[in-house]
Chain A
Amino acid sequence: MPDPKLLGKYEYDPVFLNARREAIIILFVWIVFFLWTVPYCYFNGYRESIDPDNLELILGMPGWIVKGVAFPWMVATLFSIGFALFYIKDDELGEAEEGADVAEDRAELHSSEQGGEA
């Protein structure tokens, strides 16, 4: 967790704190679905676990694809929607400083020119 103060003296930007918290959760979400899909398919979908003459079908698809991919896909989509709409904070992103960086470049260029002449 971050220090209570940035460099010991400034308040952290709340947008940064919110975005970072959301990013950490998203990383865990990826891990959860990874741990659901890949091991499930590994143990149930590979050749040795399949009997082609008595294939388990769900909605016309192989059972392991439905339980290992289609179903988690539905859950992931619903979660993404819920997370995006209700959890991600509606932060103010601020006005863009268009050209601020180039202006800095320009100032730097001219100050170094003047410095060179002096």
Chain B
Amino acid sequence: MNAALFVFMLYTLAVFALAYFSNQLLKSKGFLSEYFLGSRSLGVWAFALTFAATSASGGSFTGFPSLIYTYGWVLGLWIASYMVVPICTMGWLGKRLNQVARISGSITIPDVLRDRFHSRSLGLVAVLIILFFMVFNLVAQFKAGSVILKTLLEGVDIFHDAGQVMSRLAESVPFLETSQGGEYLLCLILFGVAVIFYTTYGGFHAVVWTDVMQGIVMVVGVLIMLPLAISQVGGLSKATQDMAQMIPPRTGYIQVELEAPSGENLVLNNKNWFIAPIEGGTAEQPLFDVFRLKERIEIESGKTTGTASRNEDEKQAPTEITVLKIMSPHEVSRVLENASGGEDPDFFKIQMTEFTPTDFQTTNPETGEKEDFYPVDKDGVPLKGMYVSAPGASPKSNVGFLPASIAISFFVFWAWSGAGQPSNMVRLMAFNSSATLKKSITTVAIYFSLIYFPLVIIFCCARVLMPGMEAESDRIMPAMSVTLTKNAGIHWLAGILVAAPFAAVMSTIDSFLLMMSSAIVRDIYQRNINPDASDKTVKWLSYASTLIIGLAAMYFAIDPPQFLQDIIVYTGSGLSACFLAPVVYAIYWPKCNKQGILAGMMCGLVAHLSCYVAGIYLNGSFFDPYLVFEFDPVVTGLVASFLGGLIVGNLFPPPEEAIIKKYFAKNES
């Protein structure tokens, strides 16, 4: 895996070089417009790829593959609205938003709202909402980036040693205290410093150029993996037929008793497997149960059993070891084949044992009894076909992974939530002409088709090639890269493939960082505190705020709060619930007034937030939101925002004539 280290270093160097060239541009042009908006001069490739790369966050290459692996072909339906994402996110607002921003000289979204309605308070509310959502999101993205880098560098000796040093350092320096381990901390610092440096120094153009490079890495990675995956699985038809026969594995616990005492001290983790004989196994039924460890256990030399190392407050007894039980007979055979007759050091034979499942269960609220909803037919035989049909078997929910209402929500979500992201809208203000927009929609349409649907195919193949990866499904992308390139005999390729998720998260962070910085310098300082500020002050303030925001987000990511993936979802959908309707009304509705816009923002914010707050009382967690008519909060928020804006906008008089004329009348000159 030294290839990964090499790729990372090469990457960082390239990114720094791009930042240097961007900084040269800053010297020759108007600072603010160049630093935050690239002087509105983006051409096709830069605009198309920065747009695509910013939308594809780290999740596209970690969470998404993990979901495909876990639920199968239904993810095709989950991601389906990406077929219209390019035209909806770029075509819907692009041309007009770009024009409006040119008329007013706006360089941020709050700027646009403020200028269009001549209302200082509107601008401020918009800035505060953006900052509120972005602060959390940025911390989450930093953590995601570090975790990805850590996964990439796993197994590199130098990295491991440096991680140890870092651990000791963290113990002695109070503010470096982390629950994530020395290697995480090292990755956070390496990764964080690189991103913060190139973003601060180079500004918008540096971000755009690195996005272009990262966008190319992503698509090349996917296009290399696709044929490798299909050929190694023996053709896609065979893979799908295999999947049709599979039944989902179960999580639960067993008592571990090795067949023979261990000859050395063993530390086992989720790379290790247990094989246990079954009483009365027949030729049709496998003769063995196969389990994959889901936690760490230690077995001392000369002993046959050990205890799990986990937090004391967990209810399970320490001798009960959490494992994943493979349920499909032919997956069991494949695992045993991989074990090559029990000689693989990752496999351990254990005594016959009883498996107690803990997933696919709900507690009946009336009787307090546990009910098992593992999919079976009326004779109790597990149902096949879960991986080739919707909604997909979910260990957490008895309605499955993607019931129809959630499928509808996602079709709305990807297209309209994407259109409503301020980070995407800012990019729409940066292209240089209508022709660029037109060619970019074409480019992004092709680009997304080459990434998202092929990813579904690749990780459906992974489901067949690598059983039991549910035990560490977030590592499916690097694990699959290594397996594919090893089988094909081209090891160095893994380095490029694993760089794709890293590229994705970097290109998301850099644009968020710049957006927050622009909110502070432009929207708060220059437009509210000191419009007289000299160019020099504004320039140093921009550098300083980008740097400080970056460092602060990195600091909070040292010991990050839980639920970061949920935070990313919450903030992403919240931003679109607040901004899509207001921006649409601002640019397409001449008589719209500031009251309507404010109502749109507030209705979106409150409706969306209420769903989450109601989740605390009804479902027991903020991140298990209440679903109005079973739809995701983003749908509720968007509907409330559009309706609220429309109703209130009609109740108040239109703004003064000069403003309407400025933005909607034909320019006589």
A-side residues, CB < 8 A to B, are: 6-7, 10-16, 18-20, 22-23, 26-27, 29-30, 33-34, 37-38, 41-42, 45-47, 49-53, 55, 57, 59-62, 64-65, 68-70, 72-74, 76-77, 79-81, 83-85, 88-102, 105-106, 109
Contact = CB atoms under 8 A, between A and B. Distances in A.
Nearest to A70: B453
**A12, A15, A20, most chain B CB atoms within 10 A:** A15
Given A15-B95, A19-B96, A47-B383, 18 more contacts: A11-B665, A15-B99, A16-B99, A23-B588, A29-B88, A50-B385, A61-B236, A61-B240, A62-B240, A69-B80, A73-B82, A77-B83, A80-B86, A81-B441, A96-B102, A97-B102, A100-B105, A102-B531
A12 B434 CA distance: 19
A37 B99 CA distance: 34
Contacts of B91: 22-23, 26, 80, 83-84, 88
Interface in B304-338: none
B272 interface: no
Among all A-B residue pairs, the 9 with the closest Cβ atoms: A60-B236, A52-B385, A19-B96, A84-B441, A10-B665, A76-B83, A100-B105, A50-B389, A60-B237
Nearest to B245: A52
Given A42-B404, A106-B532, A6 B661 contact: yes
Given A16-B664, A69-B77, A69-B80, A105 B92 contact: no
B88 A62 contact: no
A18 B101 CA distance: 17
B133 to A, nearest CB: 24
Given A37-B77, A62-B388, A84-B442, A20 B96 contact: yes
B115 A101 contact: yes
Interface string B233-246: 00111111100110
A97 B390 CA distance: 52
A3 B258 CA distance: 83
A85 B92 contact: no
A73 B236 contact: no
25 contacts: A6-B661, A10-B661, A10-B665, A16-B663, A19-B95, A19-B587, A38-B404, A52-B385, A60-B237, A61-B73, A65-B77, A68-B77, A72-B83, A73-B453, A76-B87, A76-B445, A81-B441, A88-B441, A90-B434, A91-B99, A91-B434, A93-B99, A93-B433, A94-B103, A96-B40
Contacts of A14: 666
Nearest to B437: A88
B96 A73 contact: no
Contact of A47 (B88, B102, B391, B587): B391
A29 B407 contact: no
B505 interface: no
A100 B457 CA distance: 51
B531 A106 contact: yes
A16 B386 CA distance: 49
Interface in B64-82: 73-74, 76-77, 80-82
A98 B666 CA distance: 20
